[in-house]
């Protein structure tokens, strides 16, 4: 298949190891990956904060960048983020329609229909759960709010993780609880966010896992900060955070390495 990658602005600016891992994984599975240069933010931050008018040019840019998938030039769009996939699928057409851009809203709907979060693409479209990965570490999994509730990815990420050679998966207590990030929620409700994060960090450290994984680097960034601060003020090393794509991209021949994979 010919698959376009939406890197997400967070992945592009701060965590390039996630989109890089997606490219490596999909190419290893025999697919061609295209990375449209015009892409930028999906507009989720603007919409969730109530700035729908300001979101219009951002959303229009995303739809135009990925419009070739609606014309059949590409077979699918993959996003290493449940949060951004949710925005593309449930918000973009609405924003354009409310702005009186009915034609572009229809294109947005067509683009969204072929846009998939990574685990959706692998399990539902490519029909694979064992991707030939090797990751010999103790790992726990956090199902992010948007992937769980907005997309309904269910157990797809866990089905992929269970097929990874060498991995030791451990359940995360109260896994479905939010980490407290939520984009600007963490800024506008700092005390509530901090309390939610403290609960999540306590549950993660209690698993004894070496790594916490998820399908969104936004949540991993938030939880990772809490884990680092906890480690600094306590004893022992912090639980490391890693995107699902990085685990699935790791193999016996090319194991995961934090520095190498970030290049």
Residue range 93-107, pLDDT digits in tens: 999 999 999 999 999
Which CATH number is 223's domain given?
3.40.50
Q: How confident is the model at residue 1 (pLDDT cuts 50, 70, 90)?
A: very high
What is the tally of structural domains in the chain? 2
Instruction: Decide: helix, strand or coil at residue 128.
Output: coil
Provide the sign of the torsion angle of the four alpha carbons 154, 155, 158, 159, taken in this order.
negative
Q: How confident is the model at residue 235 (pLDDT cuts 50, 70, 90)?
A: low
Angle at 30 between CA 26 and CA 31, to 5 degrees: 60
Angular region, 152: left φ>0, alpha ψ -120 to 50, beta rest: left
Name the helix (H) or strand (E) containing 96: helix 92-98
Q: Which domain holds residue 20?
A: 2-125
Q: Count the Cβ atoms, other than its own, within 10 Å of residue 35.
A: 13
Boundary of a domain, candidates 101, 125, 149: 125
pLDDT value at position 263?
Answer: 42
pTM score, whole prediction: 0.94
pLDDT, tens digit, 9 for 90 and up, residues 139-148: 999 999 999 9
Q: How confident is the model at residue 262 (pLDDT cuts 50, 70, 90)?
A: very low
User: Do 13 and 119 belong to one domain?
Assistant: yes
Q: How confident is the model at residue 261 (pLDDT cuts 50, 70, 90)?
A: very low
Q: Count the Cβ atoms, other than its own, within 10 Å of residue 56.
A: 19
User: Do 61 and 164 belong to one domain?
Assistant: no
pLDDT, tens digit, 9 for 90 and up, residues 174-210: 999 898 888 788 888 999 999 999 999 999 999 999 9
User: Do 167 and 65 belong to one domain?
Assistant: no
Residue 108: pLDDT over 60? yes
- C-beta separation of 118 from 213 below 8 A: no
| Residue 109 in tokens | 């709907």
Axis crossing angle, helix 102-113 with helix 52-66, rounded to the nearest 10: 60
Angle at 87 between CA 65 and CA 182, to 5 degrees: 130
Boundary of a domain, candidates 125, 156, 184: 125
User: Do 190 and 97 belong to one domain?
Assistant: no
Q: Which one-letter DSSP state was computed for residue 260? A: H
User: Do 183 and 221 belong to one domain?
Assistant: yes
- C-beta separation of 103 from 217 below 8 A: no
| Residue 7 in tokens | 């890197």
How many CA atoms, within 13 angstroms, populate the side-chain half-sphere of residue 174?
14
* Cα–Cα distance measured from residue 166 to residue 161, given in angstroms and rounded to the nearest whole number: 10
* Cα–Cα distance measured from residue 209 to residue 207, given in angstroms and rounded to the nearest whole number: 5
User: Do 152 and 110 belong to one domain?
Assistant: no
Residue 82: pLDDT over 50? yes
- C-beta separation of 19 from 7 below 8 A: yes
Burial zone of 71 (CB within 10 Å; 0-12 exposed, 13-18 middle, 19+ buried): exposed
pLDDT value at position 259?
Answer: 60
User: Do 53 and 92 belong to one domain?
Assistant: yes
């Amino acid at each position: 298949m010919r698959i376009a990658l939406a890197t997400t602005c967070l992945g592009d600016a701060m965590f390039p190891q996630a989109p890089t891992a997606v490219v490596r994984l999909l190419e290893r599975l025999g697919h061609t990956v295209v990375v449209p240069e015009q892409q930028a933010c999906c507009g989720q931050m603007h919409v969730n904060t109530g700035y729908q008018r300001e979101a219009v040019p951002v959303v229009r840019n995303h739809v135009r960048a990925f419009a070739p998938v609606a014309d059949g030039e590409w077979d699918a769009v993959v996003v290493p983020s449940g949060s951004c996939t949710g925005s593309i699928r449930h918000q973009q057409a609405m924003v354009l329609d409310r702005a009186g851009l009915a034609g572009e809203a229809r294109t947005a709907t067509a683009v969204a229909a072929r846009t998939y979060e990574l685990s959706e693409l692998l399990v539902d479209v490519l029909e694979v759960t064992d991707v030939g990965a090797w990751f010999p570490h103790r790992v726990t999994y956090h199902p992010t709010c948007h992937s769980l509730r907005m997309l309904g990815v269910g157990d797809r990420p866990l089905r992929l993780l269970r097929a990874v050679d060498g991995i030791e998966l451990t359940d995360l207590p109260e896994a479905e609880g939010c980490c407290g990030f939520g984009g600007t929620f963490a800024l506008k409700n700092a005390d509530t966010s901090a309390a939610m994060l403290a609960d999540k960090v306590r549950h993660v450290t209690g698993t004894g896992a070496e790594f916490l994984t998820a399908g969104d680097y936004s949540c991993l960034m938030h939880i990772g900060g809490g884990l680092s601060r906890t480690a600094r003020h306590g004893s022992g090393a912090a639980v490391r955070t890693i995107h699902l794509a990085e685990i699935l991209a790791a193999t016996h021949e090319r194991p995961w390495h934090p520095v190498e994979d970030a290049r």
